[in-house]
Amino acid sequence: MKKAKIILLISVLVCIAGTAVFIIISPARVPVHYNFSGEVDRVGSKYENIIVPVVAAGIGVFFAVSSENSLKKGLESNAKIVLYSGIVTVLFLTAIGFYLMWKALSYIPGEERAVTPGAVNKLTSIGIGILLIALGNIMPKARRNSLVGIRTKWSLANDTVWQKSQRFGGIVSVAGGFLQVVLSLFVPGMWNILVMTVVIAVIVILSVAASRKYYREYTEGEKEGEKE
């Protein structure tokens, strides 16, 4: 737990330090917004990039507090999962922020493009795929709660259904994450958002359906046991 907290703190500090370096070396005005095609559609103050570490710090605090709340309830495994989720989320946000800052440094006024069309979408899709893989690996370790995991009215009904739902959800999340990363490498950048949406939708639908299936099997088994 202590190691995970330190890693989360370092992740936030890296985001703050990197942004500070960018602000020091960048010109006063830089690209701050891009359209769907990756074209610069607004140039503004370099200080607007402070929003990246501010959001990263907010996310870090949220996950740290959520982890502490899980610990107070005696859910140590859940506390670890929350911290690891926070680390992955902060690193993902930092990667996107740093990529845009790096491209902003090469911006020349008068040029229409500073970001390769669809590059951010591709990077986002790959990042979400990695996040799905990470969450899929730790999800089966979560104990029943209302914060992390496959949370449906069926999975929350009892520990047996919960555990089966998390194992299934973990498997499809890992599979979906790998598929998304692979597809993102070959699919044109702007289509990555569609791929990401479809993959996540399939994971959610399958996980919810499996949760309902496990609940029905459990309740039917209980009824049969009562008859005997």
Q: 125-143, pLDDT tens digit by residue?
A: 888 888 888 888 878 878 8
Residues 6+ apart with CB under 8 A from 222: none
pLDDT at 132: 86
Share of the chain above pLDDT 90, in %: 32
Q: What is the mean pLDDT of the chain?
A: 83
Q: What average pLDDT does range 82-98 have in this prediction?
A: 86
Give the C-alpha separation, 38 to 34, whole Å. 5
Q: Is the pLDDT of residue 114 over 50?
A: no
Between 27 and 80, residue with greater pLDDT: 27
pLDDT digits over 166-177, tens only? 999 999 999 999
- Name which residue leads in pLDDT, 228 or 197: 197
> How many other CB atoms are there within 10 angstroms of residue 149's CB atom?
26
pLDDT of 77 above 60: yes
Neighbours of 119 (CB within 10 A): 17
For residue 108, the tally of other CB atoms under 10 A from its CB is: 6
Residue 22 vs residue 38, higher pLDDT: 22
Domain limits of the chain? 1-117, 118-228
Instruction: State the average pLDDT over residues 64-68.
Output: 87
pLDDT at 111 > cutoff 60? no
Q: Are 198 and 186 in contact (CB under 8 A)?
A: no
Provide the pLDDT confidence category of residue 37 given band limits of 50, 70 and 90.
low
Answer with the residue of higher pLDDT: 81 or 25: 25
pTM: 0.70
Question: Of residues 75 and 53, which shows the higher confidence score?
Answer: 53
**Structure confidence at residue 104 (pLDDT):** 83
∠ CA 148-149-155, nearest 5°, is 120
Q: How many CB atoms lie within 10 A of CB 182?
A: 12
